[in-house]
Homo-oligomer: A and B are copies of this chain.
Amino acid sequence: MPERLGPPLKEPLFERVAIIGLGLIGSSIIRAARQLNLARDLVAVDANEAVLARVRELKIADEVTADAAVGVRDADLVILCVPVGACGVVARAMRGGLKAGAIVSDVGSVKASVMAQVEPHLPDGVHFVPAHPVAGTEHSGPDAGFSTLFHNRWCILTPREETDEAATGRVRAFWEAMGSNVEVMSAQHHDLVLAITSHVPHLIAYNIVGTAADLETVTQSEVIKFSAGGFRDFTRIAASDPTMWRDVFLHNKEAVLEMLGRLNEDIALLARAIRWGEGDKLFDLFTRTRAIRRGIISEGQDAAEPDFGRRRQG
């Protein structure tokens, strides 16, 4: 996984890009856009004064404002980087400032709900190209961002059939410039794919960490001490931003519950195999799952080193 950005563009892709929400994702986009010269002007919009102050200190934006309608003025690209549940409110707040022909995009982990929230607020002549960069870390806030976050990661676009193709093409170019591979699919299919590759894993991780914390027979200190047996891998994603994840589950309810139902059926089968000592069934599953891991490594979506390459010597 070479994690390196290319050289800056000679001519920026956009004149003025406004990023709304300067958390992990928003602050990573603004850093990458600046480093790669993707926009002549970069505007940071955030409703949180502490975040804005920090963005000023970090000097990662050309302009900084708490007012969405002011921030998006004259922008040819606006990217909503707020929790999925806040997209409708932010769209309404900024609508007065949007110029004709502007492209609005987002980075939400759920697409159908975001489209339903945002579209009613957009004036005619503004193009909405929903996007979801499948990248992140367990850390949050403007200090957590870094310019290579999207490098060699997938970014999924879910435009409607009637969406302006040129607008979709410009959003695609923006993400490709940051090193992402871009795929286009329907919002409905996106929400199903992400339910299994991201939402349910997070839910299960939060859940197992919660279950462990509540045991009366095993102390929390024991759980922490002996976490290297596998548990600690779950705690990483269970440390992700609570607001973002609450919104993901509430806004992708059907797909998450459907995938969770399937998972539960499979867990019941496994529990039964354990109860009845059916070692062959366990062995078959445990062999099959290795192949998926190999696929992920050969596609460059994870480190091949043991333990994700956690530092070691020897």
Identify the A interface with B (CB < 8 A): 1, 3-5, 31, 85, 109, 134-139, 144, 146-149, 153-154, 156, 183, 192-194, 196-215, 217-218, 220, 222-240, 242-243, 245-247, 249-250, 253, 256-257, 259-260, 262-264, 266-267, 270-271, 274-275, 277, 279, 282-283, 285-290, 292-296, 299, 301-303, 306-314
Contact = CB atoms under 8 A, between A and B. Distances in A.
Contacts of A144: 306
Contacts of A308: 236, 307-310
Contacts of A226: 134, 154, 156, 193-194, 197-198
Nearest to A156: B226
Contact of A257 (B199, B263, B274): B274
Given A230-B237, A262-B215, A210 B306 contact: no
Given A201-B234, A220-B295, A225-B299, 5 more contacts: A194-B229, A197-B222, A203-B270, A207-B263, A213-B289
Contacts of A277: 250, 253
A208 B215 contact: no
9 contacts: A197-B227, A198-B230, A209-B289, A209-B292, A210-B266, A214-B266, A215-B262, A239-B290, A307-B308
A282 B245 contact: yes
A231 B148 contact: no
